[in-house]
A and B are shown apart, each in its own frame.
Chain A
Amino acid sequence: MPDPGARAAILVKVRERIVRFAASKVGAEYADDLANDTIQVVETKYRDKDSEADLIPLAVGVMKNKIREFRRQRDRGHAPLDEARAAAADDSRDADLRRLLYDSIARLGPRCRELFRLQLEGYTSPEIQRRLGARTLRTLYTWTFRCTEELRKIMNAAPAANKETR
């Protein structure tokens, strides 16, 4: 049975994080409303979830959709919503991101490429540690952090149109 008390406490904090994140994406004046909309969706749609591990990824997904809707509305002004055009724009953004991710992963150094390959193949951290020859799991986690940072650096160096978080 979900614990309503725990759930409520988590959602309070999730809301705080969303307000700050949304402020950086859509402006402080709209961040509160966006956070409220997001939490409302999470509260009504995911009543059976009460852990951080479940609620936060769900909230992040809903938040991104809300940000996308906000931008769409801002861009079209008073014009009516053209759903087909909006969907096409989303598909185009998805395709751009995949191209960027694909090219960026290919530009990583050999160890980082190997690490991502093993992760994508489904190996566990201890198995990856052994295969890459990391002395400890902590070493592997350090490598993973550096590789993720390298990937972010490569992707952020790309043209602005590809970088927008949806």
Chain B
Amino acid sequence: MTPAPDPRSLIGAYATGSLTRTERELLMRAALEDDSLFALLAEADDWREALADEDFRQTVLARLRATSEPIRPSWRDRLAAVFPKPWLTGAAAAAGIVVILLVRSGYLSESSPAARIALGDAGLAALHSADLLQTPTPAERALESSSRADPPPAARDAALALDRAGSNPAYRIGDRQRIGFTLPERASVLLAEELPDGSAVRLFPNRFQESPSVQPNQTVRVPPDGQGDRQVEGPPGQRVIRLLVFPPDIDPLAPGLAWEGLKAQARVVERRYRVNP
């Protein structure tokens, strides 16, 4: 069981409105008994009020997303996440490292018994590249759903491909996947995935590839080379990957864009795939 956190370490989450009920109770009980913590809480309450305003919150988020840098744990930390117990013998640790290398290079599946025994679910999670996914802002969601309801012409010269052949290839939950696209001319793009429940996630730009700009004939891979593969997650069902292509001077992530004004300049490519349980 995780030991209770220092209540002071919960002040930031209080300001951002992200405390769980348990964390909130812990913080408030401690503030009741401690003048300095109470003063910190009162100060953070100003931040909380400001960030509770949705427009301001989205403005701050947009700035943070634009300046987001990939925070990759060091190899030491990632190995430590797989082998948290310091008493593991050298031989067992060496065997685990071999398994990690085999999984990372694609010779061994993450779902294989060897990987699951050697690494466990926590270890597999440490290799996961799911921090790729970006939750769209309300403005992006509006743009994305408008572009679905009122689609632009097809981008016949753009190439969008999955790493499996077929017009609707099948993946299983836990399978690895890579997506790639190429355009013949410079453009700004938005790559999004529509899930079976109608929600969407943005795949590009992402925390590793922040800019929506692509160069002519540049093959963009998602995730980018060196960042591993994307792991297919649930729920099962039909997925649609949509590449929206805009002229290079348009930033599809800029706030305030209306689809009515953009549609004439946009083009789209779609690919479908199924996720089986």
Residues of A near any B CB (own CB < 8 A): 10, 13-14, 17, 20-21, 24, 51-53, 55-57, 60-61, 63-64, 94, 97-98, 101-102, 105-106, 110-111, 113-117, 119-125, 130-138, 141-142, 144-145, 147-148, 151-152, 165-166
Q: How far is the CA of A51 from the CA of B29 in the complex (A)?
A: 9
Across chains A and B, the number of contacting residue pairs, with CB separation under 8 Å, is 157
| Pair A51/B43 contact, Cβ less than 8 Å | no
10 inter-chain pairs at a CB distance below 8 angstroms, sorted by A residue, are: A51-B28, A52-B29, A120-B64, A123-B18, A133-B73, A138-B2, A138-B3, A138-B5, A147-B12, A165-B43
Q: How far is the CB of A3 from chain B (nearest CB, A)?
A: 15
**Which residues of B are found within 8 Å of A165, using beta-carbon distances?**
42-43, 46
| Pair B38/A122 contact, Cβ less than 8 Å | no
| Pair B28/A145 contact, Cβ less than 8 Å | no
Q: Does B65 sit within 8 A of A, measured CB to CB?
A: yes
| Pair B50/A98 contact, Cβ less than 8 Å | yes
How many chain B residues touch A (Cβ–Cβ < 8 Å)? 62
| Pair A56/B10 contact, Cβ less than 8 Å | no
| Pair A141/B45 contact, Cβ less than 8 Å | no
Q: How far is the CB of A147 from chain B (nearest CB, A)?
A: 6
Stretch from B76-84, B172-180, B236-244 at the A interface: B76-84
**Which residues of A are found within 8 Å of B24, using beta-carbon distances?**
53
8 shortest A-B CB distances, which residue pairs?
A133-B73, A148-B12, A145-B9, A117-B64, A141-B9, A52-B28, A141-B5, A119-B16
Q: Does B60 sit within 8 A of A, measured CB to CB?
A: yes
